[in-house]
């Protein structure tokens, strides 16, 4: 989480920062309207009670008052425009920044027009800086800009001889600078804390959703094999009492098969859950994608031998930045699915090559193909009921959902089309980062 923030306490990613601000709009919009209006209103009152006591050498009291009224008007118009908006306005930052900049300009004009003789400049500047950093929501860039300009205004435009004297003036400059640094530090910490809370809540939501999906899947898919195991265990026990060893042997065979299916199902569920839980966490490395495919093929080879399915793969070597374990699991699920629907004595051909700025991997099988509805469900990540394989094999329906999750996290795409020679072609498109060279 540490590397997600910049030095100003906001998120490095513009998209993540906008998502954070969007999420806070409905919660904070009334506070935004109220604080900006009150600050602008009190700024107007300060002019009413203070400007009439000042001597203006340049410009006039009336001109300055017009600007103060304009500031209050902007805050009111801002409220009227956006009070009913459910989503954060596109130009919100410009509205709120304009009020900060205009108030800063008014203070500069006031100091210049009165030739730096105002005794209330320092407390007024301090109040404005406190408002920018602690009260008014908005970008820290605008707050820093206004704070620095107000400090320079006090340094160069305030007449120290006609106000507090040089020594006191220097001490006040130091105090104002120290206050601005402390307030800036406070705002950075506050902004970072707010975004940390947002990220933590977002991750917690992901965990809760994954937990709910995991529990629902376990409750739905594991019940059936457990029921078969329980039923066959009871039959086996009764058959053993009756001396029917043939039935006992058959029941044991069914139990072993059901446990094997259950083991595969649990493996699929765990891998799928992990792919969700690891979303947004960086665990990638630069690894040859051909070796990742080899790991997947070696793992699934025994399953292929049972149906005498030859797996032939030819991939162009490429050092690719990816999660090798999860991508290997992704490949394994696609191959396992192809084996399931391929007939005996058939082939699965896998080809991989670089096309433009993508690495394309094609899985050719000799199965019966897929319906258009099933293809759309797979591409949309919808958990579909697994169809029976060519030899009566059953699956969990989670394997291709896992494939979808992993490919999405690698910012890739997938497509499934019928092959001219029968079967299907399952294609993965993985983006190649700039600067990567072929090994």
- What secondary structure, in 3-state letters, does 116-176 show? CCCCCHHHHHHHHHHHHHHHCCCCHHHHHHHHHHHHHHHHHCCCCCCCCCHHHHHHHHHHH
Verify that 312 and 332 share a domain, yes or no.
Answer: yes
Rounded-to-integer distance, Cα 200 and Cα 227, Å: 40
- Asked whether residue 391 carries a pLDDT value surpassing 60, the answer given is no
Say yes or no to pLDDT of 128 above 50.
Answer: yes
Task: Identify the residue with better confidence: 351 or 240.
Answer: 351
Range of the domain at 122: 2-206
Weakest mean pLDDT among 142-151, 165-174, 273-282: 273-282
The two structure tokens encoding residue 349: 């051909």
- The CA-atom distances, in angstroms, between 273 and each of 290, 382, 408 are 26, 15, 15
Angstrom distance (rounded) from CA 330 to CA 281: 18
Domain count of the chain?
Answer: 3
- 411 token code pair: 């910012």
* Average pLDDT of the segment spanning 208-220: 65
And the tokens for 259?
């446990």
Q: Are residues 234 and 321 in the same domain?
A: no
What is the distance in angstroms between the CA of the first residue and the CA of the last residue of the chain? Answer: 33
250, 163: one domain: no
Q: Which of 150, 172, 206 is the last residue of a domain?
A: 206
Measured at the CA of 39, the angle between CA 139 and CA 128, to 5 degrees, comes to 65
CA distance 150 to 121: 10
Distances (CA, A) of 361 to 149, 152, 337, 348: 58, 61, 16, 13
Domain annotation covers residue 98: yes
Burial class (CB in 10 A: 0-12, 13-18, 19+), 125: buried
- 212 found inside a domain: no
The answer as to whether 215 is a domain residue is no
> Would residue 412 count as lying in a domain?
yes
The helix/strand count (H/E) of the chain reads as 12, 7
Rounded CA gap, 174 and 168, in Å? 10
pLDDT tens-digit readout, 367-381? 887 767 777 777 766
Could you tell me the pLDDT band of residue 280, with boundaries at 50, 70 and 90? very low
Say yes or no: 227 and 355 in one domain.
Answer: no
Q: How does pLDDT run across 218-240, given as a tens digit for each residue? A: 655 566 567 778 888 888 888 88
245 is written with which tokens?
């060893």
Tens-place pLDDT, residues 399-409: 677 788 788 88
385-389: average pLDDT: 53
Residues 407 and 428 sit within 8 Å (Cβ to Cβ): yes
Q: For residues 12 and 155, state if they share a domain.
A: yes
- Domain co-membership, 292 together with 270: no
What is the per-residue pLDDT for 264? 67
């Amino acid at each position: 989480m540490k590397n997600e923030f910049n030095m100003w306490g906001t998120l490095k990613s513009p998209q993540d920062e906008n998502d954070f601000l969007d999420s806070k709009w409905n919660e904070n919009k009334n506070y935004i309207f109220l604080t900006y209006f009150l600050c602008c209103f009190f700024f107007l009152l300060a002019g009413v009670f203070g400007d009439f006591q000042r001597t203006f050498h340049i410009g006039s009291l009336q001109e300055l008052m017009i600007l103060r009224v304009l500031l209050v008007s902007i805050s009111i118009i801002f409220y009227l425009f956006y009070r009913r908006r459910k989503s954060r306005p596109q130009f919100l930052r410009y509205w709120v920044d304009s009020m900060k900049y205009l108030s800063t300009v008014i203070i500069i004009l006031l100091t210049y027009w009165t030739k730096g003789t105002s005794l209330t400049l320092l407390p007024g500047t301090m109040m404005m800086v406190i408002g920018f950093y602690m009260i008014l929501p908005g970008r820290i860039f605008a707050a820093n800009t206004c704070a620095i300009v107000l400090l320079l205004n006090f340094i160069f435009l305030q007449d120290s001889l006609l106000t507090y004297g040089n020594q006191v003036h220097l001490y006040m400059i130091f105090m104002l600078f120290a206050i601005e640094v402390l307030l800036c530090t406070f705002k950075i910490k506050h902004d970072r804390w707010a975004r940390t809370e947002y990220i933590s809540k977002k991750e917690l939501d992901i965990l809760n959703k994954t937990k709910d999906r995991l529990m629902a899947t376990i409750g739905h898919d594991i019940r059936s094999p457990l029921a078969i195991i329980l039923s066959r265990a009871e039959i086996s026990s009764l058959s053993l009492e009756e001396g029917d060893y043939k039935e006992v042997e058959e029941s044991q065979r069914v139990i072993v098969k059901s446990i094997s299916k259950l083991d595969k199902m649990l493996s699929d569920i765990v891998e799928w859950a992990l792919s969700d839980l690891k979303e947004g966490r960086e665990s990638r490395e630069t690894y040859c994608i051909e070796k990742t495919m080899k790991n997947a093929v070696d793992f699934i080879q025994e399953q292929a031998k049972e149906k005498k399915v030859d797996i032939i793969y030819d991939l162009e070597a490429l050092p690719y930045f990816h999660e090798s374990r999860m991508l290997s699991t992704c490949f394994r699920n696609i191959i396992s699915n192809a084996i399931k629907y391929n007939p005996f004595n058939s082939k699965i051909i896998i080809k991989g090559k670089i096309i433009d700025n993508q690495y394309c991997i094609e899985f050719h099988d000799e199965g019966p193909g897929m319906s258009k509805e099933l293809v759309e469900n797979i591409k949309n990540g919808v958990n579909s009921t697994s169809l029976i394989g060519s030899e009566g094999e059953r699956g969990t329906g989670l394997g291709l959902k896992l494939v979808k999750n992993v490919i999405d996290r690698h910012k890739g795409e997938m497509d499934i089309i019928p092959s001219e020679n029968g079967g299907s072609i399952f294609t993965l498109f993985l983006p190649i980062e700039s600067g990567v060279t072929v090994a």
